[in-house]
Amino acid sequence: MFGIRKETLERLRKEYPIGCRVELTMMSDPYNTRLCPGEKGTVMHVDDIGTIHVRWDCGSSLGVVYGEDSCRKLDSVSITCYGTTQSWDDRKEALRFYKQAAEECEGAERDRYTRIVFQLMDGKSICSDQESEL
């Protein structure tokens, strides 16, 4: 496995599961012309040598090479409100948005936004303005 320990590979695969969102923090590839720190993308898989393969939002598919490059996992959430689903790369940003929305309205609309706020605060990754069906 080209110098990567089995335990390290398992940790990488657990930390960066397929579909999670990441942000590039550093890439040392001299041939890279498209990716800069801050670029975001979706993990496709982690291969047997620890490279995190990413579908970058800019269209690139360069991998994050273990021991050379680095990225961080984003705390992304998916929120369905008024029948429309939106993905947020930052839970805190989504929480700020929905808290402010709840403060600026009243009645049923406030209830919808407050329901989402509580789900975000509970750590849920998939939130909805609908009451859960028991």
Domains in the chain (CATH in brackets) are 6-73 (2.30.30.40), 77-128 (no CATH)
- Rounded to whole angstroms, the Cα distance separating 41 from 20 reads 8
Residue 11 pLDDT greater than 70, yes or no: yes
Residue 128 · residue 81 · CB < 8 Å: yes
- Whole-model pTM? 0.78
For the stretch 30-69, pLDDT in tens is 888 889 999 999 999 999 999 999 999 999 999 999 999 9
Contact 19, 46 (CB under 8 A): no
Query: Is 70 exceeded by the pLDDT of residue 1?
Result: no
Per-residue burial over 93-112, b if 16 or more Cβ lie within 10 Å, else e, is ebbebbbebbeeeeeeeeeb
Is the Cα dihedral 88, 89, 91, 97 positive or negative?
A: negative
